[in-house]
Structure 1
Amino acid sequence: MTIASGSAQQGGSHIYRAMRDLVQSMNDTIPGKFEITKKGIVHDMMAPIGPHELTTLHLRKRLEKVMPDAIVAHTGEPDVEDESESIMRRPDVMVITWADMEVPDSFDPRTLIAAIEIVSRSNPDNDWVGKVRDYPLMGIPVYSIFDPRTGTGAVFTDIHPTPDGPRYATRKDFVYGEDVTIADWTISTEGLPLYG
């Protein structure tokens, strides 16, 4: 659900900082997850449920088996923030080096190797529309979506300029059960859970 709309860029960085302060204060008191998008503040009201969390765990463990030790599939805080674009997001899984995690505040999105989202049952457009728009603006080179509603997903790559700003040029769809390549690593999607 979008609870504030309109680009934060229109009013300058002070509006973005006010939205960031609001989001951080709400994250401590209101259930769900808040993010600042190019279109305003988005609130995913539902706490992640079993299949969402189990998919996150499967993906983290499968990726870490094939990646070098210097790279992790991180889940959790902090956010990924690009203040110049007025965007603050928190991917379900962030593929990043240990060294790039050693920061005092939010991660720099340009240090992410990939961002992975498991589609929320309560707000699928946030993953399929909003993040497909925002992640290339932030410079995240690979964005992968896993959708437990349908047992399908997609990997977006190859950021290129467009009249509406940077966008992903390549989309590779997959069906659960197939192998999927995220950045330089291929993992199985066999046995990933679906929403009931």
Structure 2
Amino acid sequence: MNKIAPLIHTINALYLWLVGLSIGAMIACGAFVAPMIFNAYSFLPDLGITQYDSGILMTQIFVKLNYLLNFTAIIIIIYELLSFKASFKPSIILLGINTLSILLIFIFTLYYTPHIIEAQSMGAAYTATPEFESMHTQSEFIFKILLTTLSISFFWRIILLSAKPIHQIAKSTTKTSRKKTS
């Protein structure tokens, strides 16, 4: 047995864990946290929180998420390039999906988030403008596409990793069957 195989399995597991963690964090922020933050006044009417205040809170949550996403993008770059180079049958489609994920991460974290923070610094009136609404809608769209591409990449990578041992098992089973029939 190859001595490096356990290390490769561990690296694969950690990579999938990180991508899965990022997907889960995105779902948690978008599906669970955002609706609660933006409806905080309905749960705590005495708090007197406005939509603008909710937006400030939500942005700070996304700033924290951006650290995870940027780290994930760097790991995706390293892992996928090494996997592509080491593979006998590299998946161009998977490389393309991951490239798109990396671009979307950096567009979301390095373009949209700073623009939203800048707009919020101009005050509540600016965040009520059509320009801000358009930028915010675009960032949500980028976020949803990113979630989709990361999810496709996650499941595709699982399929590729699980297909390898199945082929090896099938080959060893065939050899064993041939020996028994001889």
TM bracket, shorter-chain basis: under 0.3
Compare relative contact order (CA 8 Å, sep 6+) and give the higher one, 1 or 2: 2
Larger CA Rg, structure 1 vs 2: 2
- TM normalised by structure 1 equals 0.26
Greater strand content: 1
